[in-house]
């Protein structure tokens, strides 16, 4: 489905199931005026939400968590209906969202606590120093179509937990899950600090025009446009963009586990995961054996659209545009000498593309340089670990990587040489489930991070510094008017004494100054 395939008239987006093309719902295309009005309303209610404090907000977040779990099966139905995912792939969305609600609700008070450091500078020693974290009033969260319920959860929940109001703009391809997401918040009677803006890129642009912080997930190309729009308004932003995540399979790896893990890491959600395995480098001594095992695993995958019976492993792609990108990458590789040892073409039904393993691939092919975001695994033979690292780092992207080895120390050594935001050793995608460590891309894969303990909440806050007297205050501070040589020398002498290294530099007045 392309953007225009979704459109019926100037005011509505028709949503279709990409697995079979049937219409599953419709949402309005919201104008910039409507978006501005929604942001104004959020701004009105946000101070009360902030004033509730983390404990008051926790009550609502946990109530919402109950709603998500109580409605999980229906939410999964909706996710499947607009993405063409398998039941298994869709099932994680509400459950992980509930777990994220639990995490942020229960940790927010500690993560947002004021800090009261002792002053390093003797001139501020008489002050009580406080850093307090105040939320951006309205956060804009712009999400893509690959996890239409979970993606809003990943970013909206910490923003709400931090005390911000949120204006959510989902992808036009999959807005129905976001409708559910916001509906749940309303249904539990929570304060009106979460609103939805549906539409195309223009609606996204209107969100940026009306919020105080932007959290964007999607393609690198759109991410750059978002960054420019934010710069125009001097807005802070965080971008989670595309990836081309390498897997490095070393000769000492458990090949059975590597072939299982890489098949899953490459095919999960039909390869439409920002941190999915997109290219594989295998040390020469185990190349043939690994390729045979991987090919067998991928060939066995059952593809199709199931319902609540969990019958299939791999589902459809979210749009026909996405299927065409996958096809182009495979076709270009094959034209340049690569071979599809399994898969290699669309199935002919909906947007399904066969799970594919490519060999005889080289680093210059589009399947190795551009984000594919589909069910393909191109595999390259390398001489050794150094070549694997060099080729893994030879990319404009730097989201995550996996290393497969029997030696954990070697794995960690290699991790520290990879130019990516996350490395999973002997596992794939596992960092995405670890809320306590940051998830973010280097290079063209993003700016900023999400999750990562306190940092995941503090990103939605403006630190505010407060100083207050710690001791009884005199009528005048040392540096106040009128200037007095004695008081200036005393104050700066204290500072100089604390900063001086060696007795020679302890002198009260700066070198050359009149005494
Ligand atoms: P986009 O980056 O185009 O869209 C992501 C979100 O941004 C959507 O909600 C989109 O709205 C919105 N948007 C588009 N233009 C603007 C704008 N000018 N200002 C503000 N918001 C805007 O992703 P696509 O859906 O087109 O996917 C394209 C590629 O992105 C994929 O092939 C894949 O490579 C990558 N991708 C990466 C993801 C990740 O998790 N890192 C997830 C999804 C895609 P609308 O959809 O209505 O245009």
Report CA(218)–ligand 1 centroid distance (Å). 4
Q: What pLDDT is recorded for position 501? A: 87
Cα of 219 to ligand 1 centre, how many Å?
5
Of 172, 240, 354, 371, the catalytic one is 240
Distance from the alpha carbon of residue 272 to the mean position of ligand 1, in angstroms? 13
Indicate the DSSP class of residue 285: G
- Name the nearest CA neighbour of 170 among 2, 323, 28, 326: 28
Q: Phi and psi of 164, rounded to 5°?
A: -85, 160
User: All domains of the chain, ordered by start, with CATH?
Assistant: 31-112+136-242+454-462 (3.40.605.10), 245-433 (3.40.309.10), 475-506 (no CATH)
d(CA 160, CA 170): 17
Tell how far CA 359 is from the center of its chain: 31
CA of 143 to the centre of ligand 1 (A): 7
Are 440 and 449 in contact by the 8 Å Cβ rule? The answer is yes
Q: What pLDDT does residue 261 have? A: 98
| CA separation for the pair 377, 339 (Å, rounded) | 12
As a whole number of angstroms, the distance between CA 247 and CA 37 comes to 47
Beta bridge partners of 410: none
Contact 405, 414 (CB under 8 A): yes
375, two tokens: 């069910």
Ligand 1 lined by 400 (C-beta under 6 Å): no
Q: What does the pLDDT read at residue 64?
A: 98
CB 301 within 8 A of CB 395: no
pLDDT for the residue 123: 93
194 neighbors 141 (Cβ within 8 angstroms):
no
Q: How far apart are CA 400 and CA 491, in angstroms?
A: 51
Is 477 one of the annotated active-site residues of the chain?
no
Are 155 and 169 in contact by the 8 Å Cβ rule? The answer is no
CA distance 40 to 211: 9
| CB of residue 215 inside a 6 A radius of ligand 1 | no
Report which DSSP code applies to 438: E
User: Does the beta carbon of 323 sit less than 6 angstroms from any atom of ligand 1?
Assistant: no
Tokens 């934010």, located at residue: 230
According to the model, what pLDDT value does residue 513 have? 47
Q: Among 207, 218, 235, say which to mutate for ligand 1: greatest number of ligand atoms within 8 Å of CB.
A: 218
b/e per residue, 115-133, with b = 16+ CB within 10 A?
A: eeeeeeeeeeeeeebeeeb
Give the ligand 1 atom nearest the CA of 322.
Answer: 32
Ligand 1 pocket member 240 (CB < 6 A) = yes
9 CA distance to ligand 1 middle (Å) = 22
Give me 16's structure tokens. Answer: 């279709």
Beta strand 400-404 pairing with 245-249: parallel
Q: φ and ψ at 439, to 5 degrees? A: -120, 115
Atom of ligand 1 nearest to the CA of 225: 18
The string of DSSP letters for 350-381 reads TT-B--EEEES--TTSHHHHS---SSEEEEEE
pLDDT tens string, the chain, 515 residues long: the values are: 444 455 556 899 999 999 999 999 999 999 999 999 999 999 999 999 999 999 999 999 999 999 999 999 999 999 999 999 999 999 999 999 999 999 999 999 999 999 999 999 999 999 999 999 999 999 999 999 999 999 999 999 999 999 999 999 999 999 999 999 999 999 999 999 999 999 999 999 999 999 999 999 999 999 999 999 999 999 999 999 999 999 999 999 999 999 999 999 999 999 999 999 999 999 999 999 999 999 999 999 999 999 999 999 999 999 999 999 999 999 999 999 999 999 999 999 999 999 999 999 999 999 999 999 999 999 999 999 999 999 999 999 999 999 999 999 999 999 999 999 999 999 999 999 999 999 999 999 999 999 999 999 999 999 999 999 999 999 999 999 999 999 999 999 999 999 998 888 876 555 544 44
pLDDT of residue 507: 65
């Amino acid at each position: 489905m392309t953007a225009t395939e979704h459109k019926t008239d100037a005011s509505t987006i028709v949503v279709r199931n990409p697995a079979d093309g049937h219409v599953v719902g419709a949402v309005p295309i919201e104008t910039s005026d409507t978006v501005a009005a929604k942001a104004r309303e959020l701004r009105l209610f946000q101070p009360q939400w902030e004033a509730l404090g983390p404990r008051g907000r926790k009550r609502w977040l946990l109530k919402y968590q109950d709603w998500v779990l109580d409605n999980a099966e229906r939410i999964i139905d909706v996710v499947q209906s607009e993405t063409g995912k398998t039941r298994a792939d869709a099932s994680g969305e509400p459950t992980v969202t509930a777990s994220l609600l639990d995490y942020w609700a229960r940790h927010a008070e500690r993560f947002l606590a004021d800090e009261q450091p002792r002053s390093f500078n003797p001139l501020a020693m008489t002050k009580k120093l406080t850093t307090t974290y105040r939320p951006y009033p309205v956060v804009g969260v712009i999400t893509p179509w690959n996890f239409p319920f979970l993606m809003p959860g990943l970013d909206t929940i910490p923003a709400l937990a931090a005390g911000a109001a949120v204006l959510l703009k989902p992808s036009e391809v999959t807005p129905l899950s976001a409708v559910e997401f916001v509906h749940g918040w309303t249904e539990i009677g929570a304060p009106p600090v979460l609103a939805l803006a549906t539409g195309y890129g223009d609606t996204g642009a209107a969100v940026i025009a009306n919020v105080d912080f932007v959290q964007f997930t999607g393609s690198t190309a759109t991410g750059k446009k978002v960054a420019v729009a934010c710069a125009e308004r001097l807005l802070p932003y965080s971008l989670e963009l595309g990836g081309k995540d390498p897997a490095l399979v070393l000769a000492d790896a458990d090949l059975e586990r590597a072939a299982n893990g890489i098949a899953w890491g490459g095919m999960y959600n039909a390869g439409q995961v920002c941190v999915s395995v997109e290219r594989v480098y295998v040390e020469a001594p185990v190349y043939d054996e690994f390729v045979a095992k991987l090919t067998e695993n991928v060939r066995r995958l059952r593809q199709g659209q199931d319902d609540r019976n969990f019958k299939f492993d791999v589902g459809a792609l979210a749009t026909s545009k996405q299927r065409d990108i996958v096809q182009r990458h495979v076709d270009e590789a094959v034209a340049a000498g690569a071979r599809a040892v399994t898969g290699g073409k669309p199935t002919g039904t909906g947007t399904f593309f066969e799970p594919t393993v490519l060999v005889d691939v080289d680093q210059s092919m589009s399947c190795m340089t551009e984000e594919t975001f589909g069910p393909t695994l191109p595999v390259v033979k390398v001489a050794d670990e150094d070549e694997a690292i060099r080729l893994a780092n030879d990319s404009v992207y730097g989201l995550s990587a996996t290393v497969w080895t029997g030696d954990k120390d070697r794995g960690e050594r290699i991790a520290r040489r990879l130019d990516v935001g996350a490395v999973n050793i002997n596992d794939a995608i596992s960092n995405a489930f670890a809320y306590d460590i940051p998830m973010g891309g280097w290079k063209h894969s993003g700016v900023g991070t999400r999750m990562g303990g306190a940092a995941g909440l503090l990103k939605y806050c403006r630190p505010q510094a407060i100083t207050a007297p710690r001791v009884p205050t005199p009528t005048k501070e040392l540096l106040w008017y009128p200037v007095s040589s004695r008081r200036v020398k005393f104050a700066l002498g204290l500072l100089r004494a604390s900063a001086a290294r060696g007795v020679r530099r302890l002198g009260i007045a700066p070198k050359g100054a009149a005494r």
